[in-house]
Structure 1
């Protein structure tokens, strides 16, 4: 009997893990506007926008098109896959996965003109779980630090 219970628990664990790794990502659900999104009730997100965000948008002294292209390079170099939007639109949603379990996180960025430069608004969130242990904040901060360290020019 104990062996049967163990097998059932093991099969359930495998099924949950398979679902997490293989569940489709609906672009219509995850490709949102960071300016308009409601703050989630769970702490597994990081929001960068002018009002109601966790941080103010950084402004870069470059064109929105150049900033969007550079950010896309950084995101893809960090293992992110483009789910929706485009560099040409300056509105992109990326999927990244945790190394061991493969939990999907979604990071939406919106590049807007800001005076002579461009501002980066973003909404990074986990799909599963209550807490992401700060991974979404860390990912956005890493991408922004890379942008700030790199001379983003036209």
Structure 2
């Protein structure tokens, strides 16, 4: 009976890992303009507002695309808004970061998909991207 329980637990862990890696990302849910005028840290994410000039998104896009395990979910620099997916190295948990250029203002919203806390991962990534802009 103990072997059967062990295999059941292993199977559940594998199934959960597969779901985390393979679950589709709905652009309608994640690709929405970030709203707000002040920086804020959240339990599951981060919001930043910075003055970058009109080329901020183009510059940040190059930084984001160079980030390991990061890809574009939807959007483009030409459209003025991009949502990126960054996955953790081992499990592959997805975090979503939407960046919107509004004139000279860049708004970034990084947040987790699974769980309740991100332990500062989104804050560190977004602030790292912004430090790469050398504002």
- Please confirm whether the aligned pair reaches a TM-score higher than 0.5, indicating the same fold: yes
Give matches, 1:114-153, under 5 Å. 118-148=104-134
Q: What SS class does the counterpart of residue 58 from structure 1 fall into?
A: strand
What is the alpha-carbon distance in structure 2 between the residues aligned to residue 17 and residue 137 of structure 1? 24
Alignment TM-score, normalising by the size of structure 2: 0.90
What is the alpha-carbon distance in structure 2 between the residues aligned to residue 96 and residue 137 of structure 1? 13
Give matches, 1:26-105, under 5 Å. 26-35=26-35, 43-48=43-48, 57-60=49-52, 62=53, 64=54, 66-79=55-68, 80-105=70-95
Counting matched residue pairs gives 129
5+ residue gaps, structure 2, are 37-41
What is the alpha-carbon distance in structure 2 between the residues aligned to residue 76 and residue 92 of structure 1? 11
Moved over 3 A (4+): none
**Which is strand-richer, 1 or 2?**
2
For each residue in 1:43-82, what CA deviation from the matched residue of structure 2 results, as whole angstroms up to 9, or x when unmatched? 111112xxxxxxxx2212x3x2x22211111000013211
5+ residue gaps, structure 1, are 37-41, 49-56, 150-154
Alignment TM-score, normalising by the size of structure 1: 0.79
Q: Does structure 1 residue 16 correspond to structure 2 residue 16?
A: yes
